[in-house]
Each structure stands twice: as C-alpha cells, then as structure tokens.
Amino acid sequence: MTLIRQTAQGAAEGFSTERADCWFGIPFAKPPVGELRFKRAREPEPWEGVRACTEMGPRPHDFLAGPMLETEIFTQAPSEDCLYLNVWAPKGTEPGAKKPVFVWIYGGANHTGEASNPLYDLSAFAEDDIVAVNFNYRLGPLGFYDFTKYGAEGFESNCALSDQIAALKWVRKNIEAFGGDPGNVTICGESAGGMSCYALLASPAARGLFRKAIPMSGIADNIDYPKVHELNNALYFEGLGIDPSKPEELEKLKTMTPEELRGGCLNVLLDTDVYPGIELTGMVSGDDLLPDKVWDALDKGNAADVKVLIGTCRDEATLFYPIKMVPYTPDMVRQMLEYSNHPERFGGFEKVYGDLTTDAALIQIGTDRLFWNDSVRCSDAQAKHNTVWRYRFDFVTPQAAQFGLFATHSADIGPALKNSCGAQLMMFDQGETPERLAKIREIVHGAFVNFVKNDDPAGTTGPGWKPYTREHRETMLIDVTADGEDACTLAEDPRGEVYDALWADLRFFEN
C-alpha cells in the first residue's frame, strides 16, 4: 500500500512501523523567521513533487534556565524554523476512513518542549484505531512574551497560540487524507499544554476546530493579565540590559540570536522571589485571540459545543516547591495575597493550612493555587454549557514516594499516552511492578481512548464515572492497589470547603 497522501500544500510520503503508519515533519505554517519573527503564524507554502515525511522537524529553541533545564532531554536540533507536525495512523488506514483524531500539545513551562520527545510518541492511539497528531510551537520570548505595548512596530501578541491554531486548521483541512475525521477532533495537553488547551477553549479564533478537550494540569491563570506581562517583561529586559521605552532598543530583539534572547529568561524564571504567585510568562489576555480570561470565556459559552475532561495530579507542587517555583515561605504567601489586593485572606490561609507542617502547607497551597483552583473554576464555568468530566491522579510509584514527589505534576503523562517517562526527574516507572504499571495505563489511557471515541471516559474504572456538575463536583480519584487492582473512587467535591472558603473569588494580579 502506498503511503503517499495529498495535502493542501502537496504530496507527503510516510513510512510504517510495527505499530502505526507515520508521516513526520510536515510543515503547517511558514517558517517564522526573518520578518516573521515575533509575528503570528502564516499559511504554509506549497511544495512541488512528493515530500519525504520520515523525520521529525527541528525543535523550537528553548528558553529555560536554572534547575528545570535539568529535567529536559532534547532529541532534535533547535531552529526558529520549527513549525512542523507529525501524524500517526492505524496501520492500513485509507484516506476518508473518518477515524477519530487525537491531538497532543506538549508542556514545558512555556519555555521548553518539543513534539519529538519520545514520551510523546502517539503510536498507542494508532493501535487503538485513532489518528493522532502532535506539533511544535514557539517558546519563550519568541512565542509567549507580549512586546506589543512598547511602541516598536513588527511585534504581534500570542504568537504561540497562533501556532497552535494554525496546526489545528491544518488538521481540519488535511486530516481526512490520513484517515481522520475532521469533525471529531480531541485536543489534549499537559502543564503548559494543558494551559494551551484552556486557551484554545477560550479563543474565538479556535471555535469549531475541535469538539473535545482534555486539559491535564493546566494553569488557566497562566493566560495572564497585561499587568503580569508588564511585571515579567521588566524582569526580562533588566536581564537583557534593554530599555523598552526606547523603540530603537526594543528593535534589537529582532536581530538577537536565540541564545542572546535567552539571557533575560533566568530573571523571569526566578520571579517567585520578586512577585510571589506569578508564574512564568504565558499567553496574554485582552487581544483578539484571547479577549477574556479562560473561566470568563467559558462562562460566556465560547466553548459551548465542546465536551471536556479535566485532570490534575494530587501532589502537583511537590515538583516545584524544592526548586522555588511556588511561594516557599509563609511571608511569600502573604505577599501573593497583598499583590492580589486580598491581604485580609492570610488569616484564613493560616487557619485552613495551619495543621500541616510548613513544607506540606506550602506544597498544598502551591498545588491549590496553580492547579486545583483553576481546574474547579473552569469546570464550574464549562458545566453550564456542556458535559464535563474530572479526574485526580493519585497513583504513586515507590520511587516517586522515595523522592518525596508522590503523585506529582506530570505523573499522569506516561499512563495517558501509554509510554514510559524519560526525563531525568520523572522516574515514575522505576521500581514499580508490571501489574501496577499495566493497570494504571489501562485505566488512564483507556479513559482517554473512550473519551476520544465515545465522548465519555467511563468504562476503565471500577465505580461509575459520572459527569461533573456544579452542585456536586464529581471527580474520579484514580489509583491502583499494591496488588495491581483498580482502586478508583468517585468523590463528591474533594477539597470543596477549601476552594469555596479561600479560592473561589480570588483574582491574582488583575490590575
């Protein structure tokens, strides 16, 4: 069988593995180089003849510095010419087969990541009769920082989001040639990828490009108010030695090398010391792509036609607390509330978290602030308009427990994609029994497959998984016993009293 498929830009020839038919390194936008640096994604150029699509494209330049860089394993050389995607299809799938489509969006704190990471191999979905896609998007100052407010021409906002929308438009236009159904697309991402899922749910420009979404551990509030960009940009420019009030100074960004642009990112990475509670620079709200904060957009019905499965991990912040990426002293929690115009809330925080040790309290506050709070707020908003399911990943491997990580941030990626984690700090598989690993993959990956195929994740967990309602906030707690048996339970409004008492109406750094 030929593996040549006709796309809108030209013919693409793929290859077969034991698990899937694959097409790698397909361009979905013009290279964002030269005059297109700091510009939103543009339509891809056509090509002549048959393009060999057998290798993944270059990864985007990363802009991570400090301790988080130690967790990364890069597989491709970096390039600003990075806007390429990859397709996995069930073996023997013909064009027009109309199989459901799963699109993966990687994470990396908005500053690192690549579609070619082996952890993000999507062969397991092809084996489950699903067409799967992942893609690159620009990072750091090239993709996320907003330089449009400083008077210099040639800068556009939310470039990374424009990349993601361009990739989904490519899917809508071309995926039928690879056997996929453009009317049955599920997007999914973890961490910054989960934040991207929230952004796509909130973006008017992304309406109609997908009908289901799975944000995993996404920080919806990392779609920042312009005020947060001003604060983070000041740190960035300080690190670069640039005065943004002078347009000629800002123009230097257009000709700096990626290595030079990286120079100011360490200041932003460490901004928890300067502005406790601010995350790494994310997308900006208030432009045409993202007019509103996510929960406001969802509340208004921007994604009313989308079914959503929202997931978090029980111990998210155990990964970030040791490297000081969340407030790591009680006084920093106080400052976070003061900066957000809620200094009176600190007494409530002392009361609610006061029975924990200081370390445990700060880890739980970090988890609640960045992940649990946002997920509940977005679930409440979206449940007004369409079906929502929620899960919390509680599964802990022996090595994760040994290092004090427990069910930490990103622990659910491997089970969801049915792959082994490869990053140096993500040693979740080591020391685990084959029975427990097989069961947790069966549960989580199976739930994702069911959602992609049937609009409903239920079927792989023991008790009945009910959709989330604003009244009961039903959440599936996913776990496995020591003997490898299903230990999932459906909980009603876990941590609801804490959320309602402390977090429900908090708005951070709004003005």
Residues identified as active-site: 191, 316, 409
401-407: which pairs have CB atoms within 8 A and are 24 or more residues apart?
402/431, 403/427, 404/318, 404/322, 405/315, 405/318, 405/319, 406/314, 406/315, 406/318, 407/313, 407/314, 407/315
What distance in Å separates the CA atoms of residue 95 and residue 131, rounded to the nearest whole number? 11
Write out the two tokens for 157.
Answer: 């906002």
Name the residue among 504, 457, 469 with its Cα closest to residue 213.
457
What distance in Å separates the CA atoms of residue 491 and residue 472, rounded to the nearest whole number? 9
Name the residue among 69, 80, 64, 70 with its Cα closest to residue 31.
80
Burial class (CB in 10 A: 0-12, 13-18, 19+), 179: buried
Q: What is the CA radius of gyration of the chain?
A: 22
- Residue 255 CB neighbour total at 10 angstroms: 8
Burial class (CB in 10 A: 0-12, 13-18, 19+), 280: buried
What distance in Å separates the CA atoms of residue 106 and residue 445, rounded to the nearest whole number? 17
Q: How many residues are recorded in the chain?
A: 511
CA–chain centroid gap for 68, Å, is 16
Paired sense of beta strands 50-52 and 388-393, if any: unpaired
Write out the two tokens for 113.
Answer: 């990541």
H helices, E strands: number in the chain: 17, 14
What distance in Å separates the CA atoms of residue 83 and residue 164, rounded to the nearest whole number? 10
What distance in Å separates the CA atoms of residue 120 and residue 114, rounded to the nearest whole number? 9
**Residues near 157 by Cβ (< 8 Å), separated by ≥ 6?**
146, 148, 284, 287, 289
Write out the two tokens for 120.
Answer: 């993000």
What distance in Å separates the CA atoms of residue 37 and residue 469, rounded to the nearest whole number? 44
What distance in Å separates the CA atoms of residue 352 and residue 355, rounded to the nearest whole number? 7
Amino acid at 500: D
